[in-house]
A and B are shown apart, each in its own frame.
Chain A
């Protein structure tokens, strides 16, 4: 429990650094957050003793924290079984927060930096049901370049941007998706499955564009739930693409995708 010392800059004392008591054991907010994160699907209801054991916070202090959290509906105490559960305030907050995740806005500076690094077109694609759509482009400045096209939908298994999205799905959902694609024969389905294996191994999808003359490297963007919800791609004419550039593009794509996933809460738990 941090007893707050008022330190006005004008008082002549040196103002304390903003977060200087956060690493100590007495950081009550840290303890409160640790307590909240004890709860999950496997442990959705905990007794005072269980929370005490897991947080190693002394019981009297802990009780104060639990009461404060319950007071604000961050936890709910059920006298019937003497257990605490997560409170419904989190649903309220999540609803507010969810409406603020503007992937396009967060992606734009990252996409610009990627474009500037290789001067090729960068594309942000979204998974919408069983389709991928290209949501946004930052175009290369070179005269021969991949151009922005009005948002076109395509099935997930067609093109790197969609394949990365497909590879992020569960085995079960991938199977269900493929069996729903009536125009694919068994050989084509096996091809897709092989490509997915390669994507899972490398972490990205690439195509040198033998048939389309368009080379692409795509990486997955994950949300706070770990689900792959979008993909980031670098794309340009196949003639500027080589074994060496695929490495360079892939490194950029993966770094950009990692940054963007972080702004969407991935890996923060």
Chain B
């Protein structure tokens, strides 16, 4: 599920060089159109043909074709001659790689994540907080046939899901107040917490237990157990969570997950606090 904000997605735009938005945002229309075409690709829609892209873009076919040709030229998209379909280009892999290079936590966390995965054979995910969202930045996958979807790079609100809640619980009290004040609590599933009272009660429980346990608050059918990763300054710099199908994470397994996660995050914190030469 992608939480990309399109305030004016369905608004017919005046033609011209750039489009003024209500919040004084100036968008370059060609780049905006290209981005919207790229955003059409999801894990369920990995390939699209010209017809489909034209319909999705809401532009005349020649304009869409020209735009697509330009995007292919710059590696944003790839054109498959055999099927006549467009798909995401390698640019996305290269930029994701560049992005991850700027996130040293991922490299430092990796061995600890592998250790946790090896001990339980469940998918282990690393997330960080970016302003009002949680983003999953790395995963070490279970080798079991049925595993949870990962949603890497997707913006997930801080009130939904175990990893979000340990990150939110680690914030200053007045920052939490301000966050809850400005945030609409949208329901992704029947278990999503949609009142500030419920969120606050959950945060209190998370702080008391030292971990969060949720059922399908963001990903339907999934269950997650999360712990915070404390940084050198004593506040969370990220979260580690185990994500799996609800049926497999029974009470016994939950206990072992919590244990493994806490052990891993403690060791990772020690690593993060170690003075560097």
Q: Which residues of A contact B (CB under 8 A)?
A: 1-4, 6-9, 15-16, 18-19, 21-22, 27-30, 32-33, 36-37, 39-41, 44-45, 61, 63-65, 67-69, 71-74, 76, 85-100, 224-225, 265, 268-269
Question: Whole-angstrom distance between the alpha carbons of A9 and B47 in the complex?
Answer: 27
- Residue among A37, A87, A100 making CB contact with B87, cutoff 8 Å: A100
Majority secondary structure, B binding face: mixed
Question: What are 30 inter-chain pairs, A to B, with CB distance below 8 A?
Answer: A3-B17, A6-B62, A15-B62, A16-B66, A19-B66, A22-B70, A36-B91, A37-B94, A37-B95, A44-B98, A44-B99, A64-B18, A64-B28, A67-B27, A69-B35, A72-B39, A86-B98, A88-B135, A89-B39, A92-B2, A93-B88, A94-B92, A96-B43, A96-B92, A97-B90, A99-B46, A100-B46, A265-B90, A265-B93, A268-B75
Q: Is there a chain A Cβ closer than 8 Å to B153's Cβ?
A: yes
- Residue among B27, B38, B151 making CB contact with A64, cutoff 8 Å: B27
Question: Whole-angstrom distance between the alpha carbons of A96 and B86 in the complex?
Answer: 13
Question: Whole-angstrom distance between the alpha carbons of A88 and B32 in the complex?
Answer: 17
- A68-B27, A91-B152 in contact; A29/B74 too (CB < 8 A)? yes
Q: Is there a chain A Cβ closer than 8 Å to B105's Cβ?
A: no
- A64-B28, A86-B102, A268-B94 in contact; A29/B88 too (CB < 8 A)? no
Question: Whole-angstrom distance between the alpha carbons of A88 and B2 in the complex?
Answer: 11
- Per-position 1/0 for B27-64, Cβ under 8 A of A: 11111101110110111001100000000000010110
Structural contact, B152 and A95, CB atoms closer than 8 A: yes
Q: Is there a chain A Cβ closer than 8 Å to B207's Cβ?
A: no
Q: Which residues of A contact B2 (CB under 8 A)?
A: 92
Closest to B135 in A: A88
Q: Is there a chain A Cβ closer than 8 Å to B189's Cβ?
A: no
How distant is B134 from chain A, measured CB to nearest CB, in Å?
10
- Residue among B16, B46, B62 making CB contact with A9, cutoff 8 Å: B62
Structural contact, B31 and A7, CB atoms closer than 8 A: no
Question: Whole-angstrom distance between the alpha carbons of A45 and B96 in the complex?
Answer: 15
Q: Which residues of B contact A87 (CB under 8 A)?
A: 99
